[in-house]
């Protein structure tokens, strides 16, 4: 099956710093999503990005499908950005179940 690897596993930042999270996947995929899991366990959609670049405020994501990786950029980090960031890819056709990476745990201190 498809393997999804995220790096780094842990990241510690000072407020205001920028960061880049990486997601590598082992096969071509139809869908790639980035999620943020807050301290209460809620998974929040950040991006649906099978290819190309998207931006939403201080966050942006780029997926290079031909090279099988995706990057999540967080600029001017805030303490509320803390939590676990997951990359997930679809197993097959659109709408099928996701395969998750192990996540990157981000801690932002003031």
Partner 1 sequence: DVKVTQSSRYLVKRTGEKVFLECVQDMDHENMFWYRQDPGLGLRLIYFSYDVKMKEKGDIPEGYSVSREKKERFSLILESASTNQTSMYLCASSLDGTQYFGPGTRLTVL
45: contact with partner 1 by CB under 8 A: yes
Least Cβ distance, residue 36 to partner 1 (angstroms): 11
Q: In terms of CB distance, is 6 or 77 closer to partner 1? A: 6
Q: What are the phi and psi torsion angles at 80 (to 5°)?
A: -70, -10
43: contact with partner 1 by CB under 8 A: yes
48: contact with partner 1 by CB under 8 A: yes
List 14, 40, 67, 110, residue binding partner 1 (CB under 8 A): 40
Contact status, residue 71 vs residue 22, Cβ threshold 8 Å = yes
96: contact with partner 1 by CB under 8 A: yes
Contact status, residue 85 vs residue 98, Cβ threshold 8 Å = no
Contact status, residue 90 vs residue 31, Cβ threshold 8 Å = yes
39: contact with partner 1 by CB under 8 A: no
90: contact with partner 1 by CB under 8 A: yes
42: contact with partner 1 by CB under 8 A: yes
Q: How far is CA 25 from the centre of its chain?
A: 12
Sign (positive/negative) of CA torsion 36, 38, 39, 42?
negative
């Amino acid at each position: 099956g498809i393997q999804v690897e995220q790096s780094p596993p842990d990241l510690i930042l000072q407020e205001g710093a920028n960061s880049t999270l990486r997601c590598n996947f082992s096969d071509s995929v139809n869908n790639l999503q980035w999620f943020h899991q807050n301290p209460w366990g809620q998974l929040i959609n950040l991006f649906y990005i099978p290819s190309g670049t998207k931006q939403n405020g201080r966050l942006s994501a780029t997926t290079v499908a031909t090279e099988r990786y995706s990057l999540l950029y967080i600029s001017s980090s805030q303490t509320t950005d803390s939590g676990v960031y997951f990359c997930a890819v679809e197993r097959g056709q659109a709408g099928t179940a996701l395969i998750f990476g192990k996540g990157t745990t981000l801690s932002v201190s003031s």
